[in-house]
Amino acid sequence: MAEGIVYVDGEYFPADQAKISVFDHGLLYGDGVFEGIRFYNGRIFKLDRHIDRMYQSAQLIGLTPPVPRAKFREIILETTARSGLVDGYLRPLFTRGMGDLGLDPRKARAPSVVVICSTISLYGKKHETGLSAIVATLRRTPPESLNPNVKSLNYLNNILAKSEANARGADEAILLDLHGNVAEASADNIFAVRGGTVYAAPTTNSLVGITRETILELCDGRYPVKVEPFPVDFLYGSEEVFITGTGGEVAPVVEIEGRRIGDGRPGPVTRDLQKRYFELVRSTGTPIPSRGSGNAPQAVGAPTAT
Ligand SMILES: Cc1ncc(COP(=O)(O)O)c(C=O)c1O
């Protein structure tokens, strides 16, 4: 079972004891929103940016956040402090809450707040050697059907693409939009490098990734950047391809649909950006308060695993 601490509606639990109701509309219908946040070396990377995005997601689905922003921030800091972890992953969620059956959100009585503080490991050694990818047959849900900036609790479009990658023995799936342009990977944004220029797939049909934003900042003054739509053939002809996400960090893609990208190894621009990304995340961010220092907000509820 996962290590860590989980906050659920006012109480803290060891990871294996945290529960929500089977009548929660987050479980029944995927009605809710979430964030994925990492902390490194005792600092939470871009915490406020993630909180902003979570409140924006909630706003986009008409879910009134169960707690005010400042309180939510305190809960995240306290949960992280209680976990005792210095490197890890946070998964805050707002669900529509417990209610009668039937998808009408008015049936849910009050939204719930959950903050999971644990660890995550996605690509491991492949950060150094590079990933293989397929192009999913399934297209990314179009923005006309669901705003890609809603990080909702329903990830089936992404999960089915990832399953296709699994079935075909690849590490990742690249999803195209309905027009055939590259949208994103299953839970990562996508970039290509050609002639020293970094090409970022636009976010018309993908999440405005916080890692993507960070990479664009790291390119500033060093590599020219173009944000424009491109088809998958553009990736085949690129010298480098890489994907970015909080969980997956910065990961080179060295093979797509059996075609080698560049020389089949992570390229210099990807490696440089990856190196500087890891330096940045390990040296910046909101410090996790030490427990008992007087900086941590007062504990809510009771049990802890520590
Ligand atoms: C669908 C999707 N695209 C892209 C990303 C990357 O976003 P970020 O860099 O903010 O983690 C994520 C991860 O949250 C995602 O779920």
261 pLDDT higher than 90: yes
End residue of a domain, out of 90, 120, 150: 120
Rounded CA-CA distance 282/21 in Å is 37
d(CA 197, CA 174) in angstroms, rounded, equals 21
Share of the chain above pLDDT 70, in %: 95
Q: Is residue 291 part of a domain?
A: no
Contact 58, 33 (CB under 8 A): yes
The whole-number pLDDT of residue 260 equals 98
Catalytic residues: 151
User: Given pLDDT bands bounded at 50, 70 and 90, which one contains residue 124?
Assistant: confident
| 154/95 same-domain check | no
**Mean pLDDT, residues 126-131 taken together:** 96
Q: What's the number of domains the chain is made of? A: 2
> Would you state the pLDDT for residue 135?
98
Q: What is the pLDDT of residue 116?
A: 98
Residue 142 lies in a domain: yes
Residue with tokens 């890609």: 148
At residue 1 the predicted structure's pLDDT band, cuts being 50, 70 and 90, is low
What gap in Å lies between CA 26 and CA 36, rounded to an integer? 17
CA 144 to CA 142: how far, in whole Å? 5
Render the chain in DSSP notation, one character per residue.
---SEEEETTEEEEGGG----TTBHHHHH--EEE--EEEETTEETTHHHHHHHHHHHHHHTTPPPSS-HHHHHHHHHHHHHHHT-SSEEEEEEEE--BB-SSS-GGGB-S-EEEEEEE---SSTTHHHH-EEEEE-SSPPPPTTTS-TT--BS--HHHHHHHHHHHHTT-SEEEEE-TTSBEEEESSSEEEEEETTEEEE--STTS---HHHHHHHHHHTTTS-EEE---BHHHHHT-SEEEEEETTTEEEEEEEETTEEPTTSS--HHHHHHHHHHHHHHHH-SEEPPPTTSS-SPPP-SS----
**Statement to judge: residues 158 and 101 lie in one domain:** no
Residues 118-127 have a mean pLDDT of 92
Domain boundary among 69, 97, 120: 120
Ligand 1 within 6 A of CB of 216: no
In testing the pocket of ligand 1, which one of 56, 211, 242, 243 has its CB within 8 Å of the most ligand atoms? 211
In this structure, the answer to whether residues 80 and 39 fall within a common structural domain is yes
Q: How far is the CA of 303 from the centre of ligand 1 (A)?
A: 32
Mean pLDDT of 168-196: 98
Shortest-distance Cα residue to atom 4 of ligand 1 = 188
Instruction: Tell whether 135 and 209 lie within a shared domain.
Output: yes
CB-CB contact of 266 with 252 (8 Å): yes
Query: Has residue 146 been placed in a domain?
Result: yes
| Gap from CA of 245 to ligand 1 centroid (Å) | 5
Q: What is the pLDDT of residue 298?
A: 39
Same domain assignment for residues 31 and 155: no
| Mean pLDDT to the nearest integer, 239-244 | 98
> Given the CA of residue 186, which atom of ligand 1 is nearest to it?
1
Instruction: Provide the whole-model pTM.
Output: 0.94
**Burial call 11-34: b when 16+ CB within 10 Å, e when fewer:** ebbbbeebebeeebbbbbbbbbbb
Amino acid at 122: L
Question: Has residue 123 got a pLDDT over 50?
Answer: yes
- Average pLDDT over every residue of 105-110: 95
The pair of three-digit structure tokens given for residue 203, joined into one six-digit string: 């976010």
Query: Which pLDDT does position 2 carry in this prediction?
Result: 75
CATH code at 140? 3.20.10.10
Q: Would you say residue 157 lies in a domain?
A: yes
Distance CA 60, CA 82 (A): 31
Nearest-atom number in ligand 1 for the CA of 211 is: 9
Pick the last residue of a domain from 81, 104, 120: 120
140 and 54 within one domain: no
- For residue 300, pLDDT over 80 is answered with no
Question: What is the model's pLDDT at position 291?
Answer: 74
- Based on the fold, state whether residues 111 and 208 are members of the same structural domain: no
Indicate whether 56 belongs to any domain: yes
Interval 72-105: pLDDT, tens: 999 999 999 999 999 999 999 999 999 999 999 9
Confidence of residue 301 (pLDDT cuts 50, 70, 90): very low
Whether 241 and 145 map to the same domain: the answer is yes
What pLDDT sits at residue 305? 33
Domain co-membership, 28 together with 64: yes
Q: Is residue 54 part of a domain?
A: yes
Residue 202 CA to ligand 1 centre (angstroms): 13
Instruction: State how far the Cα of 273 lies from the Cα of 281, in Å rounded to an integer.
Output: 12
Q: Whose CA is nearest to atom 13 of ligand 1?
A: 187
> Same structural domain for residues 94 and 179?
no
- Residue whose Cα lies nearest atom 6 of ligand 1: it is 245
Residue type, 53: R
CATH code of the domain containing 24: 3.30.470.10
Same domain, 134 and 226: yes
Mean pLDDT of 216-234: 97
- pLDDT-based confidence at residue 129 (cuts at 50, 70, 90): very high
In a domain? residue 289: no
The alpha carbon of 296 and the centre of ligand 1 are apart by a number of angstroms equal to 29
Residue 49 structural domain: 5-120
pLDDT of residue 292: 53
Could you tell me if residue 293 is inside a domain? no
Give yes or no: residues 116 and 135 share one domain: no
Q: What is the mean pLDDT of the chain?
A: 94
pLDDT tens column, 26-76: 999 999 999 999 999 999 999 999 999 999 999 999 999 999 999 999 999
